[in-house]
Amino acid sequence: MDQKTWTIDDHLEGKPDTSVALYHEFIRLVEACGPFTYAVSKGMITVKGTRRGFAGAKPVARGLRGYFDIQRTISDDARITSVSPYTKRLYVHAFRISDVAELDEQFAGWLREAYEVGQGGHLRASREGRPRHEM
């Protein structure tokens, strides 16, 4: 049985222009954090740091949905649709974006936190006895 290799273009194909634009803005915010790689699957376009995946996104009919992993919980923002513990130190935050204005500086800050997780920052902090980052 042939298994399809998913690409970013597969995820963008047939999606509304506004959803594709939101995806590209999301990636622009990730690029501002530093170098990363992609891991593309049927369900998501994941972005990875040197240690692990730290965020992902997928254009959908009504915008962009995705996730990011950080060391704290965010519970008071309408963009965050759920928060789940992933490990003792990490929480997966699912998000839904429908307007480019929602990809603001606060969201960019969450991605910077997630990028540090992708680089292994959550591991260094625990080894060095430093407190977790809080905003």
**pLDDT number for residue 4:** 87
**pLDDT number for residue 31:** 98
Confidence of residue 19 (pLDDT cuts 50, 70, 90): very high
**What would the pLDDT profile of 34-72 be if each residue is shown by its tens digit?**
999 999 999 999 999 999 999 999 999 999 999 999 999
Kindly tell me if the per-residue pLDDT of 25 is higher than 60.
yes
Q: How far is it, in rounded angstroms, from Cα 50 to Cα 124?
A: 13
Identify the residue whose tokens are 């992902």: 56
Mean pLDDT for the stretch of residues 109-114:
98
Q: How far is it, in rounded angstroms, from Cα 9 to Cα 6?
A: 8
Confidence of residue 126 (pLDDT cuts 50, 70, 90): low
DSSP reduced 3-state for 85: strand
Query: What does the domain layout of the chain look like in residue ranges?
Result: 8-114
Structural domain 8-114, CATH architecture:
Alpha-Beta Complex (3.90)
Mean pLDDT for the stretch of residues 101-128:
88
Percent of the chain clearing pLDDT 90 (strictly above): 83
Q: How far is it, in rounded angstroms, from Cα 92 to Cα 97?
A: 16
Mean pLDDT for the stretch of residues 7-18:
97
E strands present in 1-135: 37-40, 45-48, 53-60, 63-70, 80-85, 91-97
